[in-house]
Structure formats: C-alpha cells, structure tokens
Amino acid sequence: LEVINCTFENNVANVGTGGAIFTSGTVSVNVEKSTFINNTAINSASGVGGNGGAIYSTGNSIVTVTDSIFIDNAGDADAGIYADGATFTISNSVILAKSDDTNFALNKVGSTVTANDNFWGDNSKANTNANVARWIIMNASYTNDEGVLTITATFDKTNSTSGEIADYAGTLPDGFDVTFTSTSGNLNEAVPVVNGQASVQYTLDKTDSGITVKVENSEVTFPFEVAPAVIYVSPHGDDNNDGNRE
C-alpha cells in the first residue's frame, strides 16, 4: 500500500485502533509526504481498543513513514502512533502529541521501531519508548535593525542521547507552525514552517523584556532590557537617575 500526499483529519476509530490507518498481517505500507491531524482511537468501557489515534500497526506488518506530519493525534488508551509486533520506521517527520496527552506520541510494544531524525516538539528528548539515538531540534536567532527584529526559527540541528549537537542535512516537511510571542503581548503570531524555517518581523516595544519562540516543548527565549519610562539627566552626572539633584 502506497500512501503519498494524503491528509487524514478528524478520523475516529470508535471502540477500535488506528484512527487513520490500521495494518495487520504480512502487509507493507509506505507513507510519504502525508499529514495526520486530530485523529482518535476510542476505547470501550471495558478497555477494548483505543490505541493509535493516527496509525496502529500489528502482526508482521511493515510500515515506513517519511516526510510526514502528525499533530494532535491520540488514543484513549495510548499513543497517536502504536506499533504492536510490527516493523515500524519513521524519519524526517514531525510528531507533535496533544498538549494534554500524557501518553507517548509513538508507543512500541514488541515491535522493531526505528525513529531517528524526527522533530518531536522537544529539544531534550523524543516522545516515545522506542530507542531513539538522534532527534531534530529547533533553534532560533534574530537580527536587530534599529529596533526592528527579524526572528527566525530553524530545524537544521540534531540532539542525541550522548548530548552531541550536530548539523542536520535534511529538511522537515512544511505544514506545522512556530509561535512567536513577546512579553508586551504585541507579538503573538503562529507562522507556518516553509523549507525548514519560520520567520517574523517585529518592532520591539519599549516594555518588552523578552521574545519567545516555541513549538510545544521546544522553546527559545531572548531577553531584552526594558528601558526606563523616564530618564533623568544631570549636567553634573551624579544624580543616579533619580532626578532629585537637579
């Protein structure tokens, strides 16, 4: 089965598994450049089903996923992606769990799972119980042109279980957002990632003490010094900015 350039959104496996895709037996599935958003697997009152909101693979099935996006998929019982006795490989993909979901984004049970080089919405770890040696992280930087900031988030580095930060040659797929906010509240914008980066321009407010760039638990904050509302200047230079001496 070839799944290429497909979108699965708001699908539900009611008292079942695999809200978008279910695989079992000696079948091979190749998923490329596809998007899975808010798919759900619901279990019964007795606990039947509820695994793999987006994908559930079991038996001897072989599933390979590349260049795809998983956002807000969940199972009542466990995981947006659930590999149970299957061979499951995923790479160069974005895997973002629901913000309030305490389960793994990808759960491995008796399976062979390879899941390196994905962005999990966390710079410090991969949201899975599979052995992941390397994952993509978000970095951010800015330039300041007389108070006009150009802030850019990039996804061109990897972190690892050894703590080594390395360059990443691949490019994550388009289709997820980076949120840029300022402490003044004047900046609050979700910007789509295009060609592996997202960028915004912002005129710094005098009350801003910081700018935050965020995707789920991946977060970078730039502090800024807030200028005093009034600056007192003494011709003698000795009033300590309190305005009392002149």
**Nearest residue to 178 (alpha-carbon basis) of 142, 136, 212:** 212
Residue 226 has, within 13 A of its CA and on its CB side, a CA count of 11
What pLDDT score does 239 carry? 55
Tokens coding 24: 């079992």
Measure Cα distances from 177 to 4, 145, 214, 221, 242 in Å.
Answer: 22, 25, 9, 17, 45
CB-facing half-sphere around the CA of 149: CA atoms within 13 A: 24
Four-CA torsion 225, 229, 233, 237, nearest 10 degrees: -40
Position 243 scores a pLDDT of: 55
User: Would you state the pLDDT for residue 45?
Assistant: 72
Predicted pLDDT of residue 105: 93
What's the confidence (pLDDT) of residue 14? 86
Q: Which residues in the chain land under pLDDT 70?
A: 226-246
**Which candidate, 77, 172, 168, places its Cα nearest to that of 121?**
172
Instruction: Convert the pLDDT of each residue in 85-133 to its tens digit.
Output: 999 999 999 999 977 777 889 999 989 999 999 999 999 999 999 999 9
